[in-house]
Chain A
């Protein structure tokens, strides 16, 4: 009865908040409406839809022994309390994606992004994460690639392996680019980020030799070191002799980021990668919590209109209409294929009871989606003029501040050079014009929220705190991505020549790491020299690849549901799959074939080639034009490749489903046989 009553209250609140958002279309709206609508939507989804899927579609069985119990080895297979698994899983899936995507999508106004984040998460992302988590738990924690091979066939398995490797490359490149844009000509940010490396090493030594494994003590030490790095960076920024040592161009920073990632990928993990991850995880969770509190305390008014004129495809951050590009841009906050790798990795080996998948799978993704909502709020509370001035590349709005404010004010979003100068000086930066990538504008948004909650005097410190927070976990994801990419590459190469597959043989380690870093380093370099900022090309490519991975995961899930004879429930995964296939294919088609040079990669390459041949390009642009042209054509090929892999998997799944519905033989289910919980202990069967 109480449950039903809370459900009803939630439903009324959600309807009220969403109605409020709908009715306030032409006046500024308070962020609290959006927070309320989001929280109620997630709770309803969790209580009703997730519970129904768990009971009817997945047939979650609390009496069934999980692999953590059956294969308990005290190491990776360990039955763990669901609150702890939830923490682990959320920390693993929460990355920079849900912060950057919504910021970029804010060019369409706050409404399209908000709606997709909510609908996409409740019906897509949360469902995918929970389903894959249960399917992997039922299969002894097998990975997504293994499940594709077992349940669909070798073709599906191979396609998902190649797809995953390519995503690692694109993901690392785009995160590297965001990072470079954060540090470019900002001595404070650069000095702080560089100082986090020795800080991580000190923590690593502490954890390995001085007090092995005392993670919490080491994290307190790490926090003190990070605070020192933050304040120290500010001090360096004030010293004319020192600040020049940390003032780098984009290309130089790209080189440094590549060198760093290479070293981090080949060093033993305890030196740099593991301690950096502890720091970044604590910083990430702490900051997200702080941001949530600060948004509720300050309940700011959103200054961005609900829908801007840029839904027609003329937006300055990236070209393309709201359909399909809002769905490509906001990947991680609504549905992220990458999560399926985590949900079929460490997490299923910790699940102590099948019933926990609802909290761990669905619940973690709902929280991740809420992070995306907060990022959207932080982006849309800025003056739209300021937002566009920070996020538009010089190639779009003009290279000088005067030209940029003229263009942006002309769109109906007034902004002045003085306003931008005052803002930059308050944030302790030289300039905030054309700081593309989403991270700087998010930091400005966060600094203004934190500033008005905890004191405006420290704006510059808050800004650089936000920058450090973003940079630390961009770097953590970059390290981890490069390392995993290296393992995947070695695994693939091992088929060609066995010694290359040995993960501890140094020649192979170095070769695979160089190959991986060069692959993403190339896209990073081209992104850095691109006068339009590079993010406008790389981010959609990342979105397409991530949605492709989600489609792979949903195909596997649909195939398994139909194979198990429950075709009538297959719509649960089939509908999000169909939507993703539609969105991703439309976006890919437009990226390749559109005649608009701001959308079509080939059109842009052709246009640039024509101008280069005619000699009408300025000298600086002519020098980089050949590389840009080659890159745009390469990106077009990659986009086609992603789409091909996507349809290959879908057709492979459809083939299996049709065979099953016609009663023809299909690959047998790889589900582990039923064992009752507790039975193993009683029988003494555990090793």
Chain B
């Protein structure tokens, strides 16, 4: 059986923690603006980019104009 060294274990834990953190950011919408920036740079270069505040406001308006919460 392969022995896991302390450093490898720490590295493994750090990677797990990192992916949990990325999941939390994505699922809560914390990274939404960054994804928007990436999408914008890839697909619409040169067009005006919304500010963080304006993007957040627009995102909320869109989210809450349909059924997004249940009983």
Contacts and interface: CB of A to CB of B under 8 A. Distances in A.
A100 to B, nearest CB: 9
Contacts of A83: 23, 27
A269 B64 contact: yes
B66 to A, nearest CB: 5
B70 A339 contact: yes
Nearest to A347: B68
Interface in B45-71: 51-53, 55-57, 59-71
Contact of B43 (A74, A215, A273, A346): A74
Interface of B: 23-30, 32-33, 35-36, 39-40, 43, 51-53, 55-57, 59-71
Interface stretch (A22-30, A58-66, A476-484): A476-484
17 contacts: A74-B43, A83-B23, A92-B70, A95-B69, A207-B56, A212-B53, A213-B55, A213-B56, A214-B30, A269-B60, A282-B28, A332-B70, A332-B71, A345-B68, A477-B69, A477-B71, A480-B64
A546 B71 CA distance: 10
Contact of B56 (A74, A270, A346, A481): A270
Contacts of B65: 487, 503
B55 A97 contact: no
Nearest to B37: A74
B27 A483 contact: no
Main SS class of interface, B:
helix
B64 to A, nearest CB: 4
A84 B26 contact: yes
Interface residues of A, number: 60
B60 A97 contact: no
B32 to A, nearest CB: 6
Interface in A331-350: 331-332, 336, 338-339, 341-342, 345-346
A232 to B, nearest CB: 26
Nearest to B55: A213
Main SS class of interface, A:
helix
B69 A346 contact: no
A214 B32 CA distance: 9
A72 interface: yes
Given A274-B63, A480-B67, 8 more contacts: A74-B39, A83-B23, A212-B56, A213-B52, A213-B55, A219-B28, A273-B64, A331-B71
A92 B23 contact: no
Contacts of A97: 70-71
A216 B30 contact: yes
A341 B39 contact: no
Contacts of B27: 83-84, 87-88, 91
A218 B40 CA distance: 25
Nearest to A271: B60
A212 B52 contact: yes
A212 B33 CA distance: 9
A360 interface: no
A476 B71 CA distance: 10
B28 to A, nearest CB: 5
Contacts of A213: 29-30, 32-33, 52-53, 55-56, 59
A687 B45 CA distance: 12
B23 A84 contact: yes
A208 interface: yes
B57 A208 contact: yes
A686 interface: yes
Contacts of B68: 92, 342, 345-346, 480
A216 B25 contact: yes
B62 A76 contact: yes
Contacts of A84: 23, 26-27
A96 B66 CA distance: 19
A362 B61 CA distance: 29
Contacts of A268: 57, 61
Nearest to B33: A213
A371 to B, nearest CB: 12
B30 A215 contact: yes
A338 B67 CA distance: 9
A656 B67 CA distance: 28
Contacts of A483: 64
Contacts of B36: 74-75
Contacts of B57: 208, 268, 270
A171 interface: yes
Contacts of A332: 70-71
Interface string A203-246: 00001110011111001000000000000000000000000000
B29 A215 contact: yes
